[in-house]
C-alpha cells in the first residue's frame, strides 16, 4: 500500500478552464475546494459520506443554501453507495500510488534497471584492448504511425463544417479535407488526451465562436475569433481564453436582463 500523499496536485489551468467552475460563484468555488480537500484527508482517501449535513458542514454550506449551492457542487462528484468521490481526484491518487509502487519495485532490484542496448559490446581478446562493437547491423526501427481517435476526427469535421458555414470560401471538398483532418485531428486529439478536455467542452467552444446554442442561450458567433480559429492547432492554443470569454458574455447577458448568473 502506497503511503498517503499529504497534498494533491492542483492543475490551475484545468481547474480554471472547466466550464462548470467558470459558472460558479466565489462561494461555490470555495465550498467545492473545501470538499475536495476534506475528501483527500479522510481515512478512505478521496471519499466522503453521502450525507447532506456532513457535506454542508465540511463545505461550509449554510443549510438554507443547499438547494442552490450544494446541489450544484454535487454534480462534480460521483455517488457510490453511501459515499461520494471526485473522479479526477481519485485518478490523481491512483497515478501517485502506481508511481510509488514502481519506485519501490525498482528499489528492491537495486535501483533503476539498466537500459537495454541494441549493439552488445564484444571484448577483443587483447590485453588492455578497447572493446569492439558488434559488426552486425542493428535492426531498423519500424516506422511509427500516428493515429487519432474517431472522436477527435468527428470534432474536427464539426469544426470545419462550422468554419464553412460562416466562410464559404473555406474549402470543404474531399480532395482537401483528408489532409486538413489529419493535421487538425492530431491537435484536437491532444486536447482530449493531454489537456483532458471533454467532447462537450470542445463543442461548446466551437458553437460559441461560430454561432450556436449553449446551455439554452443562443450566441450569434464572434467575428474576431472566427478569423483566428481555422484549425485544431488554433482552437487548442486559444481554448482557455475562449472558455473565459464565454463566462463573461453569459454573465453580461444575464445582467442585461436583470437576472443573476449565480441563481
- pLDDT tens digits for 118-143? 555 545 455 555 555 555 444 444 43
Q: CA–CA separation, 35 vs 32, rounded Å?
A: 5
pLDDT higher than threshold 50 for residue 235: yes
Long-range Cβ contact pairs of 203-208 (< 8 A, separation 24 or more) = 203/155, 203/158, 204/19, 204/246, 205/235, 205/239, 205/242, 205/243, 205/246, 206/155, 206/158, 206/159, 206/162, 206/235, 207/162, 208/242, 208/245, 208/246, 208/249
Q: Pick from 67, 30, 74: which is nearest to 49 by CA?
A: 74
Is 40 exposed, middle or buried (CB count within 10 Å of its CB: 0-12, 13-18, 19+)? buried
Chosen domain end from 42, 63, 91: 91
pTM here is: 0.44
Domain presence at residue 117: no
- The total of other beta-carbon atoms located within 10 Å of residue 51's CB is 13
Domain presence at residue 159: yes
Domain presence at residue 134: no
Chosen domain end from 74, 91, 108: 91
> What is residue 209's predicted lDDT score, i.e. its pLDDT?
92
For residue range 9-21, what is the model confidence (pLDDT) as tens digits? 888 888 888 888 8
Q: Pick from 73, 2, 3, 83: which is nearest to 39 by CA?
A: 83
> What is residue 114's predicted lDDT score, i.e. its pLDDT?
57
**Number of domains the chain contains:** 2
Mean pLDDT rounded to a whole number for the chain: 79
Domain presence at residue 163: yes
User: Whole domain around residue 204: which residue ranges?
Assistant: 150-253
Rounded mean pLDDT, 66-71:
90
> What is residue 27's predicted lDDT score, i.e. its pLDDT?
94
For residue range 242-253, what is the model confidence (pLDDT) as tens digits? 988 887 776 676
- The total of other beta-carbon atoms located within 10 Å of residue 220's CB is 9
Provide φ and ψ at 48, rounded to 5°: -130, 155
Coil, helix or strand at residue 250 = helix
The CATH number of the domain holding residue 78 is: 1.10.10
Percent of the chain with pLDDT over 70: 73
Amino acid at each position: 500500500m502506497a503511503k498517503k500523499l499529504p497534498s494533491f496536485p492542483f492543475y490551475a489551468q484545468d481547474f480554471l478552464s472547466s466550464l462548470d467552475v467558470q459558472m460558479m460563484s466565489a462561494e461555490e468555488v470555495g465550498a467545492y475546494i473545501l470538499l475536495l480537500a476534506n475528501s483527500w484527508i479522510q481515512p478512505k482517501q478521496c471519499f466522503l459520506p453521502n450525507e447532506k449535513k456532513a457535506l454542508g458542514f465540511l463545505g461550509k454550506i449554510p443549510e438554507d443554501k443547499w438547494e442552490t449551492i450544494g446541489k450544484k457542487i454535487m454534480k462534480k462528484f460521483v455517488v457510490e453507495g453511501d459515499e461520494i468521490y471526485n473522479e479526477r481526484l481519485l485518478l490523481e491518487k491512483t497515478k501517485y500510488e502506481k508511481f510509488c509502487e514502481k519506485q519501490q519495485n525498482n528499489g528492491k532490484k537495486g535501483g533503476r534497471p539498466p537500459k537495454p542496448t541494441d549493439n552488445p559490446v564484444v571484448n577483443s581478446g587483447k590485453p588492455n584492448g578497447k572493446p569492439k562493437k558488434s559488426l552486425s547491423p542493428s535492426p531498423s526501427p519500424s516506422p511509427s504511425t500516428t493515429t487519432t481517435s474517431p472522436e477527435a476526427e468527428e470534432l474536427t469535421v464539426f469544426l470545419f463544417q462550422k468554419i464553412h458555414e460562416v466562410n464559404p470560401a473555406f474549402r470543404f471538398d474531399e480532395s482537401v479535407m483528408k489532409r486538413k483532418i489529419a493535421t487538425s485531428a492530431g491537435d484536437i486529439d491532444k486536447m482530449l488526451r493531454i489537456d483532458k478536455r471533454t467532447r462537450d467542452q470542445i463543442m461548446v467552444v466551437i458553437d460559441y465562436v461560430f454561432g450556436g446554442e449553449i446551455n439554452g442561450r443562443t450566441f450569434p458567433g464572434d467575428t474576431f475569433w472566427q478569423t483566428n480559429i481555422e484549425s485544431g492547432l488554433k482552437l487548442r492554443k486559444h481554448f482557455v481564453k475562449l472558455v473565459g470569454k464565454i463566462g463573461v458574455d453569459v454573465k453580461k447577458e444575464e445582467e442585461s436582463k436583470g437576472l443573476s448568473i449565480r441563481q
